Amino acid sequence: MFGSREKQALILKAQDLGFLHIGFAKAEFMDAEASRLEAWLSNGHHGSMQYMENHFDLRTDPTKLVPGAKTVISFSFNYHTTEKAKDPEAPKIASYALGRDYHKVLKKKLKHLLSWMKDEYGDFQGRAFVDSAPVMERDWARRSGIGWMGKHTLLLHPREGSYFFLAEIICDLAFEPDHPIKDHCGTCTKCIDACPTDAISPEGYVLDGSKCISYLTIERKERLPAAFKGQMDNWMFGCDICQQVCPWNRFAKQHTESDFKPKAELLSKRKKEWIELTEEVFFELFKGTPVMRTKFKGLKRNIQFLELDEG
């Protein structure tokens, strides 16, 4: 088993590539998390995301993804930005989606890291994942001590907050595992109280995805339910409310990744320009960004729904 010296070398290399925190967990069946996922699905909290029901065995057992896996290495990558639209009335985009698609940015960095690891440790079996396979990334990050699961169900770090992406390398190298850290949410309910659609359970730690603004504006393909009229808080893609109100995010720092810097024209568009958005301008603005996931038709639907909010 690799100990602290080998772990530290890998951590330093990953930090050189821009990763914020790196943690190690033993690759094994996730018993408690499997039960929680099963209950979450049974309650219909995944809405129309039917893909969440698929590959349950892969989600809960990393050795099914990488045969012989011994370690899940988790990584966090900061995306926090203080940049925002110049027009306060312009419909809003979640901060993670303002720049280049994080899947591509982080996957490239992890491939570089895998190559370095093979030079350093010899040949091994390993795969990199960036929110692109059935991996319970938040739970692995929690197990590896990168943070705790906040009441809003996002991962929280005591010195960095929650504005970061998660990624993993699952491999058959045995590293000494790290340990989970303490939950520091305490009696705070700011995220629960601030959610305009009541997507977070009253006690916290459970999110009804079918009510979440991020789900409604990105994952839901059908017409937006009239019940949410007046509750979207002007978000046209994603939502940052539960992060914005979280006291731990007072420690969040501006990211330094050039690929995540938003285009100037994206932040300069006024409300009227968004209402009149054409498909051509949509592609000019969002090609290569996460917003492409909702497609022009979906974003236009969201903007029109926000107009109904004010109607």
| Annotated catalytic residue 61 | no
Residue 179 lies in a domain: no
Q: Among 32-46, 130-144, 211-225, which stretch is predicted with the lowest mean pLDDT?
A: 32-46
pLDDT of residue 311: 45
Beta strands, E only, 200-310: 235-237
User: 162 and 234 in one domain?
Assistant: no
Catalytic residue among 61, 87, 131, 183: 131
Give the tens place of pLDDT for each residue, 199-216. 999 999 999 999 999 999
Rounded to a whole number, what is the largest CA-CA distance in the chain?
63
What is the per-residue pLDDT across 262-273, written as a single tens digit (0 to 9) for each? 999 999 999 999
Judge if 109 and 223 occupy the same domain: no
For Cα atoms 283, 286, 292, give the angle at the middle one, nearest 5 degrees.
90
How many domains is the chain partitioned into structurally? 2
Structure tokens at 35: 């039960």
3-state secondary structure of 38: helix
Q: 231 and 167, same structural domain?
A: no
Range of the structural domain that residue 81 is part of: 4-171
- Do residues 154 and 11 both lie within one domain? yes
Q: Is residue 97 predicted with pLDDT exceeding 70? A: yes
Q: Residue 271: which H helix or E strand, with range?
A: helix 271-275
Do 162 and 218 lie in one domain? The reply is no
